[in-house]
């Protein structure tokens, strides 16, 4: 090989190795999940399990357990560096979407004559979680409790992560939820979209019918 090419090849290899070492030392390249992120992801999975267990919380005490767990996720997420915070937020959104799909699948798996009762169960669980989250937020700020979050805010499994970094006890902002839903809808078939809209229609009608209960 030409000595000049050999020298340039060696220098290029050294430069690549140096860049890799810089990226690795800076935490940008990892062969395993960062332990701090892994802890948050495990906590998200645990909250998802609590929300899904036995059809969701049925009492205020059960909802408080979920709200407390979300609060811990919020604290852990805020302590992450920005790059890991974004990954935690993305994972939280994906888990929340999985929870919403699970609720929708349960609705359609229920016999038509029993679907109102299934929606009532889902709505009650969401309202319990929403109330517990609002109470936890009020306790942290030592201010009067704000209005309970909507079903979309309280729904899902681990949707307490926000895309920008800090976690919110009420879940992602309305804009981020709408953007996420649009992304989901854009990547589904027409039959899946029809199923989604039918579920949302039935759910919204039932929420209005049971408002104030």
110: pLDDT strictly greater than 80: yes
Confidence of residue 21 (pLDDT cuts 50, 70, 90): low
Q: Do 68 and 136 contact (CB within 8 A), yes or no?
A: yes
When pLDDT is cut at 50, 70 and 90, the band that residue 128 belongs to is very high
User: Does the pLDDT at position 162 exceed 50?
Assistant: no
Residue, of 133 and 29, whose pLDDT is higher: 133
Alpha-carbon span 9 to 88, nearest angstrom: 40
In terms of Cα–Cα distance, which of 203, 153, 208, 206 is closest to 176? 153
Check residue 142 and give its pLDDT.
Answer: 73
- Give the global pTM: 0.65
Report the range of poorest mean pLDDT among 47-56, 60-69, 143-152, 161-170.
161-170
Buried b / exposed e along 64-93 (16+ C-beta atoms within 10 A):
bebbebbbebbebbeebeeebbebbbebbb
Lowest mean pLDDT among 63-77, 85-99, 153-167: 153-167
Q: What confidence score (pLDDT) does residue 133 get? A: 93
pLDDT of res. 25: 54
- Give CA–CA dist 45/209, Å, rounded: 33
Which of 125, 74, 99, 121 is CA-nearest to residue 184?
99
Q: Which of 169, 5, 6 shows the shortest CA–CA distance to 92?
A: 169
pLDDT value at position 186?
Answer: 67
Neighbours of 192 (CB within 10 A): 14
In order of 10, 40, 197, the CA distances from 120 in angstroms are 69, 31, 18
The answer, yes or no, to whether residue 184 has pLDDT greater than 90, is: no
Dist. CA 116–CA 101, nearest whole Å: 18
Spell 28-46 as b/e; 16+ CB within 10 A means b: eeeeeebeebeebbebbeb
Distance CA 123, CA 53 (A): 15
Q: 120 or 151: which carries more pLDDT confidence?
A: 120
Mean pLDDT of the chain: 78
Between 22 and 166, the higher pLDDT residue: 22
Q: In whole angstroms, what is the distance from residue 123 CA to residue 206 CA?
A: 8
Which pLDDT band, with edges at 50, 70 and 90, does 202 fall under?
Answer: very high
Q: Which of 83-87, 184-188, 209-213 has the highest mean pLDDT?
A: 83-87
CB 108 within 8 A of CB 37: no
DSSP string, 100-114: HHHHHHHHHHS-GGG
Q: Is the model's pLDDT at 10 over the cut of 80?
A: no
């Amino acid at each position: 090989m030409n000595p000049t090419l050999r020298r340039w090849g060696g220098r290029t290899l050294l430069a690549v190795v140096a860049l890799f070492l810089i990226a690795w030392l800076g935490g940008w390249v990892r062969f395993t999940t960062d332990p701090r992120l892994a802890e948050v992801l495990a906590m998200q999975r645990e909250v998802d399990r609590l929300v899904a267990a036995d059809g969701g919380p049925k009492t205020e005490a059960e909802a408080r357990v979920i709200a407390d767990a979300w609060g811990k996720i919020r604290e852990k997420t805020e302590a992450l560096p920005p790059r890991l915070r974004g990954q935690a937020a993305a994972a939280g959104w994906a888990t929340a979407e999985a929870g919403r799909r699970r609720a929708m699948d349960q609705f359609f798996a229920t016999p038509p004559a029993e679907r109102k009762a299934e929606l009532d169960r889902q709505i009650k669980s969401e309202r319990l979680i929403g109330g517990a989250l609002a109470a936890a937020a009020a306790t942290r700020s030592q201010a009067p409790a704000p209005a309970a979050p909507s079903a979309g805010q309280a729904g899902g499994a681990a949707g307490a992560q926000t895309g920008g970094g800090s976690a919110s006890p009420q879940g992602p902002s309305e804009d981020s939820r709408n953007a996420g839903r649009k992304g989901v809808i854009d990547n589904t078939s027409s039959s899946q979209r029809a199923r989604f809209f039918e579920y949302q229609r039935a759910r919204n009608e039932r929420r209005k019918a049971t408002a104030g209960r």
